[in-house]
Amino acid sequence: MFDFTLTDKQKMFQEMTREFSRSMVRPIALEADRTGKYPDDLLITLHQAQAGQGRDIRDSGVTANTSENAPDAEEKRKRQTNMLLAILTEELSWGDPCAVLNIPGPGLGGPPVQFMGTPEQRERFFAPFKNMSKPLFGAYALTEPGAGSDSKAIRTSCRKDGDHYIINGTKCFITNGNKALWNVVFATVDPKLGRDGFRVFVIEKGTPGFLEGKVEKKMGLRASETAELVFEDCLVHESCLLGGEKHYETKEGFKGAMKTFDSTRPLVAAMAVGIARAAFEIARDWVKENYTLSRPIERYRTLSDRLSKLDREIHAARMLTWRACWLADEGIPNSKEASMCKVYAAQVAQRATEEAVQIMGPYGVLKNHFVEKLFRDQKVYDIFEGTGQVQRIVISRRIYESIGG
Amino acid sequence: MPTFELDEEIQDMQKMLRDFATEMIRPAYREAEHAGETPSELRESIKELSVHLVDMPEEYGGLGKDIRSAVVLEEELSYGDVGITVDVQDTSIGANAILIFGTDEQKTNLLTPILESGDGIAACFSEKGNPVSPEFIETTWREKEGSYKLMGSKTFVVGAGRAKNYLVLAKKDGSNDWQDLRLFLIAADTPGVVVGDRLGTLGLETCAVADVALMGVKVDSSRVLSAESSDAFKSKLGKVLDYARIVTCARMVGVMSATSDYSAKYSTERIAFDLPISQHQSIAFMVSDNATDVDACRWMTWQAAHEYVRGGESTANRALAHVVERAQKVATDSVQILGGHGFIQDHPVEKWMRDLRALSLIPGNDLFPEHG
Ligand SMILES: Cc1cc2nc3c(=O)[nH]c(=O)nc-3n(C[C@H](O)[C@H](O)[C@H](O)COP(=O)(O)OP(=O)(O)OC[C@H]3O[C@@H](n4cnc5c(N)ncnc54)[C@H](O)[C@@H]3O)c2cc1C
Ligand SMILES: Cc1cc2nc3c(=O)[nH]c(=O)nc-3n(C[C@H](O)[C@H](O)[C@H](O)COP(=O)(O)OP(=O)(O)OC[C@H]3O[C@@H](n4cnc5c(N)ncnc54)[C@H](O)[C@@H]3O)c2cc1C
């Protein structure tokens, strides 16, 4: 029967993360926003804390996914890895959304390596992350200046030459792309083939012809690196082609890579819920401290109404997120639900931050107040990992499929 | 008879300003934001356009029109960039306050030289972000032999440290009576005027925003503005704030219009799924909703300006409440239309989203009918 109480273990992890987020992350977030840098020791702590939380998280296929033998379905179900990750992501994002994007490990690059890589490739590319004394990253490079939502339009080319591939093209907006140890890079043998022409490579930092591009200046998420990658006759050994040549004869290759989004979208939603909750709580406390004494009481009531509406929407977003995670943990297809929670939570984060700024009046726009940063951070949640428009296309397709339309 | 027609003279000026805004102001928006001020040559050339004089009476050196012309022209400047506009158009609210509160003599002696020089007047009304009302004001004045002494501290002052004059609202020490409120026009270099550190703000980073402390500032009675009764002071101050709200609306409409146009144009150039994204309905709908909101907001602003001139019941708050709400929507949807590119500082839409958010709070945000 349905039940929304967390297990003791889930609760313990949630509380631990909440405390960590409150005492370690939030206090450095504004400074990190100004400098664009996270302190190394905090990153290492984040990495270790996550590893300390055990196989539960490592095996989820999302973060530091270093295990070679993925757990069987039954075990996975019991562990509720997606659910737990969503719970922890919300807590960490509450402290600072950038903290989530800055967790050392393979990052978004993990799932393709996990799902498409050969055992040797998994060993080779995951091994470095066992070293926890330095913050190391992987990254996922699909987007190009001319191809975002429409990923089949990528132009980065690959051409076989002996036992190497020659890669040419430019990727943009790649999270951690510049500092990453390696990038999972999508290229095409022939743009006319669409997704059938895709080849997915792991390209290591320092590979000849792999040049660092500019690091973007952004409205928000300034403590998260967003980088351009340039490939000029970049020479990549064939052992870096994920899954090997054969993998691409079946057309399963790309599907594998895309499937990762069904488990990452709910986490993006969880981050948005964390942002919304943070903004809500700040505004709530502000009203309590500033309005009960010095302002007309009707005003306090109006503000309470506005706050309770936000509270309601945040809960709705969290329930949608949990639903998508639960389906994933049960092994039930969840692409509609994953899109639903992502599109909804992003909008809630937007409304919550807008309201919080408005409620705090001029203080809301001051740089030394956390809501100012949250307002700048939130907008991208309706953009990356599939824009709101793309999510709606996914949702409506699933609906029409289900009614034969 | 209702009409949307503009005077020929204003129409010409509007056209000229549109070109000026796109050719001269727009290219400077990011540099000005990073520098935290308008480049000085640009500042000079904007001042030369005399937009700040348009609604001032001719006898004090103005062009003799009214706020209806001001809203049309302020919108055009803000279409180029609103950070620069707010930074440079720094006389309007203060000059209007002198016009409303001043005696004929004060208008001649105080207003005329300011309009001639174009020196800014920073409005120091707010304290600790509280509503402008005697019970929240802690800045006080005492009078001694025709000379006044001011003590207190103001916050969120736009133009602090940059304007040559401050217009300070203060109450009589110990009195919460509206009639005992005064406005003081102080030269910025008067001893006892202390400008705090710049406050970093979400948007409008081109403008200097800071606290201004008044530590026993001496002001001559010729520079003190007052009203004959509590009701008169309240209604005159209401008029000053209404003017600020209406001008802010016009500036916001300018930004909304800029971001709406920019994203509409982008959507015709950006290809996704083999089509310009303008051909995808969810984009086309955003583009059309944006344009509709810009228009509705402009007409509401014009209507409020009309009511202001006519002296009818003020509709400034209604216009502002609507503009503030729709501005958020237009700003975020314009970013959305650009997708990831909208989040990056290579394009202006992310800045305009921040600017609009900050602008929404400038004229005070008591947008609710039950207030006051
Ligand atoms: C901070 C940040 C981090 C990022 N990190 C990564 C990363 O790590 N790796 C990576 O590969 N990418 C990353 N991205 C890129 C991101 O995923 C893309 O920006 C996103 O997919 C949108 O693509 P686009 O920017 O090209 O927008 P476009 O695809 O050009 O879209 C423009 C607009 O058109 C709309 N649109 C497009 N097609 C349709 C359609 N068929 N119907 C209706 N509307 C449509 C979109 O919704 C959007 O509103 C990141 C971006 C940002 C800003
Ligand atoms: C960038 C910037 C520049 C500024 N520049 C200047 C300047 O140059 N000079 C100057 O003097 N001041 C300036 N200010 C301050 C501004 O004018 C206001 O005084 C300040 O924002 C306080 O507004 P308020 O009176 O609405 O405050 P409050 O009344 O405290 O309003 C704050 C909150 O209460 C809510 N609220 C208000 N009324 C009601 C109601 N009746 N019912 C329910 N909720 C309500 C509002 O929505 C808001 O959420 C500036 C502010 C900013 C942000």
Distance from CA of A216 to the nearest CA of B (A): 7
* Among the listed residues A45, A94, A84, the one whose alpha carbon sits nearest the alpha carbon of residue A62: A84
The bound ligand whose nearest atom lies closest to the alpha carbon of A151 is 1
Residues of A in contact with B335 (CB under 8 A): 219, 379, 383
Distance from CA of A162 to the nearest CA of B (A): 34
Question: Do residues B36 and B208 make contact, with C-beta atoms less than 8 angstroms apart?
Answer: yes
Rounded-to-10 torsion of CA B221, B224, B229, B231: -170
B364 ligand 2 Cβ < 6 A: yes
The CA distance from B138 to B123, in Å, is 16
Q: Which sequence spans correspond to the domains of chain A?
A: 8-108, 138-250, 253-402
Of all protein residues, whose CA lies closest to atom 1 belonging to ligand 1?
A226
Q: DSSP class of residue A168?
A: E
A307 ligand 2 Cβ < 6 A: no
Asked whether the beta carbons of residue A387 and residue B339 sit closer than 8 angstroms, the reply is: yes
B368 ligand 2 Cβ < 6 A: yes
* Among the listed residues B116, B134, B112, B113, the one whose alpha carbon sits nearest the alpha carbon of residue B125: B134
Residues of B in contact with A358 (CB under 8 A): 324, 360-361, 365
* pLDDT classification of B130: cutoffs 50, 70, 90: confident
The bound ligand whose nearest atom lies closest to the alpha carbon of B87 is 2
Task: Collect the ranges in chain A with pLDDT lower than 70.
Answer: 52-72, 251-260, 292-298, 405
CATH H-level, domain A138-250: superfamily: Butyryl-CoA Dehydrogenase, subunit A, domain 2 (2.40.110.10)
Number of residue pairs across A and B with CB atoms under 8 Å? 115
Report the nearest atom of ligand 1 relative to the CA of A145: 26
Of all protein residues, whose CA lies closest to atom 49 belonging to ligand 2?
A359
Compute CA distances B287 → B18, B263, B333, B336, whole Å.
21, 8, 8, 11
What amino acid positions of A are annotated as catalytic residues?
385
Identity (one letter) of the amino acid at A24?
A: M
**Which residues have a Cβ under 8 Å from the Cβ of A78 and sit 6 or more positions away?**
none
Instruction: Give the HSE-up count for residue A304: Cα atoms under 13 Å, Cβ half-sphere.
Output: 10
Asked whether residue B366 carries a pLDDT value surpassing 60, the answer given is no
Q: Nearest Cβ partner of A372 from B136, B202, B274?
A: B202
Q: Which of A35, A140, A155, A219 to mutate to test the interface with B (most CBs of B within 10 A)?
A: A219
**How high is the pLDDT of residue A70?**
53
Report the nearest atom of ligand 1 relative to the CA of B283: 44
Question: Do residues A371 and A332 make contact, with C-beta atoms less than 8 angstroms apart?
Answer: no
The CA distance from B202 to B359, in Å, is 10
**How high is the pLDDT of residue B41?**
97
The CA distance from A15 to A9, in Å, is 10
For chain A, report the end-to-end CA distance as a whole number of angstroms: 33
Q: Nearest Cβ partner of A383 from B328, B340, B351?
A: B340
Report phi then psi at A233, rounded to 5.
45, 50
A243: left (phi over 0), alpha (psi -120 to 50) or beta: left
C-alpha radius of gyration, chain A, whole number: 22
Of all protein residues, whose CA lies closest to atom 23 belonging to ligand 2?
B364
Residues of B in contact with A218 (CB under 8 A): 343-345, 350
Token readout for B278 is 């303008």
**How high is the pLDDT of residue A45?**
92
Q: DSSP class of residue A387?
A: -
The bound ligand whose nearest atom lies closest to the alpha carbon of B125 is 2
Question: Do residues B309 and B96 make contact, with C-beta atoms less than 8 angstroms apart?
Answer: no
For chain B, report the end-to-end CA distance as a whole number of angstroms: 33
B126 ligand 2 Cβ < 6 A: yes
**Cα(B364) to centroid of ligand 2, in Å?**
3
**Cα(A147) to centroid of ligand 1, in Å?**
8
Digit-coded pLDDT (tens) for B141-180: 999 888 999 999 999 999 999 999 999 999 999 999 999 9
Helix (H) or strand (E) holding A174: strand A164-175
Interface contact A124, partner B, CB < 8 A? no
By C-alpha distance, the chain A residue nearest B157 is: A362
**Cα(A149) to centroid of ligand 1, in Å?**
5
**How high is the pLDDT of residue A293?**
59
For the domain covering A8-108, report its CATH number: 1.10.540.10
Question: Do residues B99 and B236 make contact, with C-beta atoms less than 8 angstroms apart?
Answer: no
Helix (H) or strand (E) holding B118: none
Token readout for A299 is 């005003």
**How high is the pLDDT of residue A202?**
98
* Among the listed residues A84, A96, A99, the one whose alpha carbon sits nearest the alpha carbon of residue A15: A84
Instruction: Give the HSE-up count for residue B2: Cα atoms under 13 Å, Cβ half-sphere.
Output: 4
Report phi then psi at B186, rounded to 5.
-120, 135
List all residues whose CB is within 6 A of at least one atom of ligand 1: A 108, 140-143, 148-150, 173-175, 221, 226, 380, 383-384, 387, 389-390; B 270, 272-273, 277, 280, 282-283, 336-337, 339-341, 343
Of all protein residues, whose CA lies closest to atom 24 belonging to ligand 2?
B364
Percent of chain B having pLDDT more than 90? Answer: 92
ipTM of the complex: 0.90
Residues of A in contact with B368 (CB under 8 A): 299, 302
Asked whether the beta carbons of residue A362 and residue B283 sit closer than 8 angstroms, the reply is: no
Helix (H, G, I), strand (E, B) or coil at A203: strand
**Quick one: A286 exposed, middle or buried, by C-beta within 10 A (0-12, 13-18, 19+)?**
buried
Strands B140-144 and B147-158: antiparallel
Report phi then psi at A80, rounded to 5.
50, 55
Digit-coded pLDDT (tens) for B153-163: 999 999 999 99
The CA distance from B217 to B210, in Å, is 18
The CA distance from A139 to A122, in Å, is 15
Residues of A in contact with B353 (CB under 8 A): 219, 379
By C-alpha distance, the chain B residue nearest A218 is: B344
Question: Do residues B152 and B171 make contact, with C-beta atoms less than 8 angstroms apart?
Answer: no
Asked whether the beta carbons of residue B358 and residue A365 sit closer than 8 angstroms, the reply is: yes
Distance from CA of A401 to the nearest CA of B (A): 20
**How high is the pLDDT of residue A64?**
35
Interface contact A354, partner B, CB < 8 A? yes
Indicate if the alpha-carbon torsion angle B237, B243, B244, B245 is positive or negative: positive
Digit-coded pLDDT (tens) for B214-234: 999 999 999 999 999 999 999
The bound ligand whose nearest atom lies closest to the alpha carbon of B183 is 2
Compute CA distances A267 → A7, A255, A263, B107, whole Å.
20, 20, 7, 62
**How high is the pLDDT of residue A66?**
36
Q: What average pLDDT score do residues B274-289 get?
A: 97
The CA distance from A228 to A215, in Å, is 6
How many residues belong to chain B?
372
Report the nearest atom of ligand 2 relative to the CA of B244: 17
Token readout for B106 is 């004060």
Site to probe by mutation for ligand 1, drawn from A156, A254, A381, A383 as the one with most ligand atoms within 8 Å of Cβ, is A383
Number of neighbouring beta carbons within 10 Å of residue A61: 21
Domains observed in chain B: 8-117 (1.10.540.10), 121-227 (2.40.110.10), 232-359 (1.20.140.10)
Compute CA distances A350 → A357, A381, A397, B359, B365, whole Å.
11, 9, 25, 18, 20
Classify domain A253-402 by CATH architecture.
Answer: Up-down Bundle (1.20)
Interface contact A375, partner B, CB < 8 A? yes
What is the distance, to the nearest Å, from the Cα of residue A368 to the centroid of all Cα atoms in its chain? Answer: 26
Does this model's pTM top 0.90? yes
Report the nearest atom of ligand 1 relative to the CA of B336: 49
Interface of chain B toward chain A, CB-CB under 8 angstroms: 126, 129-130, 136, 155-156, 199-203, 271-274, 280, 282-283, 324, 328, 332, 335-336, 339-340, 342-346, 350-351, 353-354, 357-358, 360-361, 365, 368, 370-371
Question: Do residues A169 and A101 make contact, with C-beta atoms less than 8 angstroms apart?
Answer: no
What is the distance, to the nearest Å, from the Cα of residue B328 to the centroid of all Cα atoms in its chain? Answer: 18
Mean pLDDT of the residues in chain B: 94
**Cα(A96) to centroid of ligand 2, in Å?**
27
What is the distance, to the nearest Å, from the Cα of residue A363 to the centroid of all Cα atoms in its chain? Answer: 30
